[in-house]
Structure formats: C-alpha cells, structure tokens
C-alpha cells in the first residue's frame, strides 16, 4: 500500500513537470517576435542617412551619435483630448500668465506734436515769362537767394519780341503820328518791355533781342521745381508723439496718437533752370517768399483732429529753449493725404518775425479720451496693426484691436472689450517668427 502511494506521487510530479515545460516553450514562442523586433532595430546618422547600423554608435563620417531609424507603423497616437492644444502659436498659446481686465473711464492728458516754422503762402508771389524764348542770362544761382523788388533776375531772347520791335520801328519811321504807333507800344509793354526800353528802341532805331525779367517783390526766391515739394508738414515714417499727463507725471511714447512733422526746412540747393533753356509764354518760373509773416505748421493723427478747433489757442516752444513759451491761434485745419499717409495739419499764423524759417517747434494739445484702457505691455504693436491675447477657455487667442491714444502708460482701445480677459504681457506670448511668416503669406495673397 505504501509502495502504491509513492508511485502515484512520482507520477503526479512527472505530469506536473511536463506541463510546466510545455508552458515555458509556449511563452518563449510568443516572445520570440518581440525579441526579433528589437534585434532588427536600425540606427542612422542624422547628417548622413546612408550610414545605417544595427546597433547604437557613432557615425564614421562626422562622428555624430546615431539615432534610431523610424519604422513605419510605429507612430504614437495623439490623444484627441489634446488636439485643441496642439496649434501654431499664431493661432493660440497655452500659458499660465496672469490675466487682466480692461479699465473703463476718461483720461485727460496733453499731446505734444512736432511742427516747423515756414513761410506764409499767402504772402508769396510768382514770376512768369510773358514771352516764349531762350534764357540768355540767368542771375539766380541757388534757391532761397535773397532778392529785392526791381532786381534783374534774367534775360530772355524772344523772336516774338524782336518781331514786335520791328513793327514798332516800321510804323514810327513811316509816320510818327500814325495811331497804330501807340498800339505797337502797348504790345511791347504787354510782352514785358519797360517804357524806358521802348523809348530807347525808338531813339536808337536798334532792336533789343533780350527782354529783362525783374523781381516783383522783396524776399527769398525759389524755382518752382523745388517750391512744389516744400513747406508741407508730413508725418515721419515711424510716427511718434510725446504724450504727457496734465501735471501728474510723464507719459510714454505713442505710436498711434499722432505723427511727427517732417516738413522740409529751407535748404540751399542749386536751381533747375539753366542758361540756354527754352521756356514758354506764361510759364511760371520762380516763387518769391517774403518773411514779413511766418506760420507754424503742426501735423498730427486724424483721430485727434476733432479736438482741435479753428480759433483754439495752442502753446508751443522751441526744443532748444523749453523755458520760453509762445501762444498762437489756430487759423487753419487742413486734412492731408501724402505718400500714402493720412494726417491733419494745423496752421498758426505768427504776427512777428522773431522766428527763423526751418526751426522746429513743439505744441501741446489737451486731449480728453473715454473708452477702455489697457497697459502698454498688454498690447503688441506689429506696425500695421495691434494685437492682444484674449483668454478663451484654457488657451490665449491673438485678437486684433483698434487703438487710439496712449496716456500714462495706458493704451485706449477703440472697441468694446469690457468682458475680455487679456494676457498681461503680450510680448511674452508672441512667437515673432510665426507672426511674421503669417503676415508675409497674407500680404502675398492680397
């Protein structure tokens, strides 16, 4: 009986060993493909894709560390719950930056705009040629050359003038009492000859082939080629205005409030007219500016123009002498569109001549603005537009906004953003390369 029990125990143990052996073989068979996959992993050089090895190491060409080679079908799937976070930074930004709310209210501040002292165009006179011909002698050598009334400017040879003098001499020599003689004198006078010159022709019997042209005013002469491009206030390429709080502190720079004046100051340059050049009858040749009355012209953004009225008093000063303050009355407000830029010019007529033309001046304009205000750090100026980052759910989305004035480090937004949550620092959120690329693509599409 005891022997049978031992035999059964041995048989049971043998069966157990056989089962364990079969399970181990099955497990090894199942694990074999995985082991083979690891064994078949290849490594390549990032700089030299032709270098392929079956184990990690270094590139024999450049010495860079080999990286695992991508095998199709082994991509990692992206969880659908994260797809809305994986967008370009020019579409949305994931950040834990602090969020601020716009501040509504009214701010009173002073806007400083740049201007220039120039000539009053109401006092300018023009010199035109009465006859067609050729410039034989030119006495004006450069622009803004001082001239006096009655001063000889140039002499013109005119075939028409010579023919009119021949008619005068023919009538005079034929019959000195002929009534046509007075008509011939009037014709020469209308062609630009002086009475003394006409009498000289009758006395000597010689034809004067040159007609003199005299200045009709005292001032500074400028040829019309240069006069067409002078004395117009215009904003600079990067408009800047200095804005200051009304006695409460200094203001920051503003890229949207107004524009600098880059009016051309009088500069000495050669005139375009030359001796030997042909001109036509009635052609305007020169403009003479008198410095008896001067004006101060200031250029600013059109958004400020509703707060500047004709007859309003403005305070201005020279940047070199801020202690001496002048006052003037706005006599003209003129909207201007020049070189693709829209701006407004305010003109102050000066009653004295203690100023010099071409001198820069700065005027202070009181401004009252009401709306929604944001710190300058929250608004990103891209040049042609302004961007803020609005909080939407768990991301920040860039939104374009319309800005107006800057005051006390705050930017006035010209739209309703009362319920917006905005990132406190826009520059921190931006990826400059992405925004520049998108802007370039949009420009090409347009």
Locate 424 and state its tokens. Answer: 């406190």
- How far apart are the C-alpha atoms of 278 and 299, rounded to whole Å? 39
Phi-psi region of 293 (alpha: psi -120 to 50; beta: other; left: phi over 0): beta
Six token digits for residue 385: 């537009």
Confirm whether pTM is higher than 0.85: no
pLDDT at 75: 55
pLDDT digits (tens, 9 = 90+) for 109-158: 777 888 998 888 888 888 888 888 898 899 888 888 889 988 998 888 88
Return the bridge partners of 422, or none: 100, 390
Using CA atoms, how far residue 160 sits from 166, 192, 193, 211, 344, in Å, is: 10, 12, 12, 11, 47
Whole-angstrom Cα distance, residue 229 to residue 343? 17
> 350-364 pLDDT, tens per residue?
877 678 888 899 888
Task: Please say whether the beta carbons of 333 and 365 come within 8 A.
Answer: no
Q: Kindly report which listed range (16-30, 179-193, 214-228, 257-271) carries the lowest average pLDDT score.
A: 257-271
- Burial of 309: CB neighbours in 10 Å, binned 0-12, 13-18, 19+: exposed
CA 379, distance to chain mean position in Å, is 19
Supply φ then ψ for residue 312, to 5 degrees: -75, 145
Question: What is the b/e burial string over 52-84, where b = at least 16 CB atoms within 10 angstroms of the residue's CB?
Answer: eeeeeeebeeeeeebeeeeeeeeeeeeeeeeee
Q: Dump pLDDT digits (tens) for 165-219.
A: 888 888 888 888 888 888 888 888 888 788 888 888 888 888 888 888 888 888 8
């Amino acid at each position: 009986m005891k022997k049978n029990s031992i035999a059964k125990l041995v048989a049971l143990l043998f069966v157990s060993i056989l089962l364990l052996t079969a399970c181990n073989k099955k497990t090894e068979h199942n694990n074999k493909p995985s082991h083979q996959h690891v064994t078949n992993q290849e490594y390549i050089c990032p700089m030299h894709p032709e270098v392929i090895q079956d184990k990690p190491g270094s590139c024999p060409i450049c010495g860079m560390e080999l990286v695992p080679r991508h095998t199709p079908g082994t991509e990692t799937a992206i969880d659908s719950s994260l797809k809305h976070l994986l967008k370009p930074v020019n579409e949305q930004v994931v950040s834990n930056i602090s969020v601020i709310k716009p501040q509504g209210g009214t701010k009173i501040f002073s806007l400083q705009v740049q201007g220039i002292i120039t000539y009053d165009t109401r006092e300018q006179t023009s010199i035109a040629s009465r006859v067609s011909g050729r410039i034989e002698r030119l006495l004006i050598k450069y622009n803004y050359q001082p001239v006096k009334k009655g001063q000889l400017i140039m002499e013109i040879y005119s075939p028409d003038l010579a023919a009119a003098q021949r008619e005068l001499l023919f009538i005079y020599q034929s019959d000195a009492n002929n009534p046509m003689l007075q008509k011939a004198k009037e014709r020469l006078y209308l062609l630009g000859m002086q009475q003394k010159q006409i009498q000289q022709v009758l006395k000597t019997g010689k034809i004067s082939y040159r007609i003199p042209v005299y200045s009709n005013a005292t001032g500074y002469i400028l040829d019309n080629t240069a006069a067409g491009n002078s004395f117009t206030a215009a904003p600079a390429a990067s408009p800047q205005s200095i804005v200051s709080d009304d006695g409460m502190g200094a203001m920051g720079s503003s890229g949207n409030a107004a524009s600098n004046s880059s009016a051309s100051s009088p500069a000495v340059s050669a005139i375009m007219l030359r001796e030997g050049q042909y001109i036509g009858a009635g052609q305007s040749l020169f403009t003479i500016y008198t410095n008896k009355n001067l004006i101060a012209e200031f250029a600013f953004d059109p958004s400020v123009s509703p707060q500047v009225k004709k007859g309003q008093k403005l305070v201005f000063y020279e940047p070199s002498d801020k202690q001496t303050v002048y006052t003037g009355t706005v006599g003209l407000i003129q909207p201007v569109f020049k070189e693709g830029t829209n701006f407004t010019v305010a003109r102050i007529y000066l009653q004295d001549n203690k100023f010099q033309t071409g001198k820069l001046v700065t005027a202070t304009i009181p401004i009252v603005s009401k709306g929604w205000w944001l710190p300058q750090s929250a608004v990103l100026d891209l040049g042609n537009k302004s961007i803020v980052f609005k909080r939407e759910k768990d991301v920040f989305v860039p939104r374009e906004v319309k800005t107006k004035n800057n005051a006390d480090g705050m930017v006035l937004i010209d739209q309703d953003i009362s319920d917006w949550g905005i990132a406190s620092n826009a520059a921190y959120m931006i990826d400059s390369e992405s925004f520049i690329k998108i802007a370039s693509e949009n420009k090409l599409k347009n």
